[in-house]
Amino acid sequence: MSSDWISGAFGLAGVIVGGSITSGASWIGDRRRTNLEARTAAQLLRRQLQTTARSVSQAIKTKSWGPTRSLDTSSWDEHQAAFASALKPSEWIVVASAIEYIRNQTAPMVELHAPNWRKEVVAVTDDFLTTLEPLWEDCRVAFVALHRASKAPDQYRDLGPLPAPYRMNPEPLATPSRPHRHSVARGPIIALKLRAWLSRH
């Protein structure tokens, strides 16, 4: 066996091993960046959901809606790819359903009942507040669904039920015998994830 052949074999093996190490390191780096983005995105959206929930409780307490209230869920759009890779299908459905309800149901109701809320505090009716109250539970279930991805401490897992003094309806919004609608929700999850994937390409 010639020394040239042996040297060539060792050289080829070195290239293969070196390439594998580089690819592996690159994969690990990409994975870490993806996990970090997912964690950050989940934390940001949880903060927005918490702010929205507080807006609900304060609106019910003061019977008004004004500039300090918020229905902002922009983190959902800004980090769609991270959510698509980080959330389980069941978690995705819950969060997507909550975001859809906030944007397509609650936001139009706010504009209808308090059109000038961005400029001034607007008094609202009990009928409006009754329709607004379920939003707390929407925020709550989405907040919990994002807990795993956010890696937040367990004591910050749940917002808890809407405090009794803030309820328009004395009955709890969700009980073991009356589950919240998101617990049995079904949605176009494949289309949503495909849209998130396309946004990355």
Q: Give the chain's radius of gyration (CA, Å).
A: 24
Residue 182: pLDDT over 80: no
CA distances in angstroms from 117 to 34, 51, 86, 103, listed in the order given: 38, 17, 36, 16
What pLDDT, on a 0 to 100 scale, did the predictor assign at position 43? Answer: 93
Q: Please tell me whether the overall predicted TM-score, pTM, comes out greater than 0.75 for this model.
A: no
Domain edges within the chain: 42-199
Name 29's Cβ contacts closer than 8 Å, sequence gap at least 6.
none
Query: By three-state DSSP, how is residue 161 classified?
Result: coil
DSSP 9-46: HHHHHHHHHHHHHHHHHHHHHHHHHHHHHHHHHHHHHH
For the segment 40-87, what is each residue's pLDDT rounded down to a tens digit? 999 999 999 999 999 999 999 899 999 999 999 999 999 988 898 889
For the segment 86-143, what is each residue's pLDDT rounded down to a tens digit? 899 999 999 999 999 999 989 999 999 899 999 999 999 988 888 888 888 889 999 9
Place of tokens 């960046």: 33
* Contact present, 79 and 41 (Cβ < 8 Å): yes
Using pLDDT thresholds of 50, 70 and 90, give the confidence band for residue 3.
low
* DSSP summary character for residue 116: T
For residues 146 and 14, the model is more confident at: 146
* Degrees, nearest 5: CA angle 83-85-90: 70
What pLDDT, on a 0 to 100 scale, did the predictor assign at position 128? Answer: 87
